A and B are shown apart, each in its own frame.
Chain A
Amino acid sequence: EVQLVESGGGVVRPGGSLRLSCAASGFTFDDYGMSWVRQAPGKGLEWVSGINWNGDSPHYADSVKGRFTISRDNAKNSLYLQMNSLRAEDTAFYYCALYIDHVGFEYWGQGTLVTVSS
């Protein structure tokens, strides 16, 4: 059974940093690209960042480029999102999602809430 478990969310002040983690199990982690997708409370889905199977091709939404860094550790079956210079508009649930080529996001975690507030 595929499982994606996010952690690392919390409350942070504007300008602060936070690192999210996603622990994956139930599939061959280094066979797949992974992404982070966020959803502000009561709002729609926004793709944030994605990374290919070996980590050498990251992509970012314009809204986070230069502030967020995605990475992965295939030996630990883990995905990460380093978030710097956080803003109030970054407040959201952050989902880790398994991306299958030509299919989409077939598996999702349950999300971790990041709140940016003074």
Chain B
Amino acid sequence: EIVMTQSPATLSVSPGERATLSCRASQSVSSKLVWYQQKPGQAPRLLIYGASTRATGIPARFSGSGSGTEFTLTISSLQSEDFAVYYCQQYNKWPLTFGGGTKVEIK
């Protein structure tokens, strides 16, 4: 199976600052990479698909980049509602696999 590795595990950022989250695949997944946001007690929310396409209703401060094995989610200016856990997931091959998550917390 394709192993997805996210770093860092925790990212401490001040409101208004930029956050950069990384996701690495153990083999190429092309651009078949999704990012999700999850807040406590809630189901995940799809943010980015195809590595770089924002889902409907997702603010422009969220952007995704990368292809192959290296991917990045950037939040350009963190708002209070952005503090959450972020997961990447590949859909290039079965079984589908998620990364372990990055928690973005208030510094």
**Which A residues fall within an 8 A CB radius of B?**
35, 44-47, 50, 59-62, 95, 102-106, 108-111
| B46 and A105 contact, CB distance less than 8 A | yes
Besides A50-B96, A102-B50, A108-B44, 5 new A-B residue pairs in contact (Cβ under 8 A), listed by A number: A45-B89, A95-B44, A102-B91, A104-B36, A105-B89
Closest residue of chain A to B89, judged by CB?
A104
Using A104-B34, A105-B36, A106-B55 as known contacts, say yes or no to A45 and B98 having CB atoms under 8 A apart. yes
| B55 and A108 contact, CB distance less than 8 A | no
Residues of B within 8 A of A103 (CB): 34, 46, 49-50, 55
Asked if B83 is an interface residue, CB under 8 A from chain A, the answer is no
- A-B Cβ contacts below 8 A, count: 58
| B43 and A59 contact, CB distance less than 8 A | no
Report 17 cross-chain contacts, Cβ distance below 8 Å, ordered by A residue. A44-B87, A44-B100, A45-B44, A46-B98, A47-B96, A50-B94, A59-B94, A59-B95, A60-B95, A61-B95, A62-B95, A103-B46, A104-B34, A104-B89, A104-B91, A105-B89, A110-B43
**Which B residues fall within an 8 A CB radius of A?**
1, 32, 34, 36, 38, 43-44, 46, 49-50, 55, 85, 87, 89, 91, 94-101
| B1 and A35 contact, CB distance less than 8 A | no
**Considering the chains assembled together, what is the distance between the CA atoms of A74 and B100 in angstroms?**
33
B34, B36, B96: which contacts A35 (Cβ < 8 A)? Answer: B96
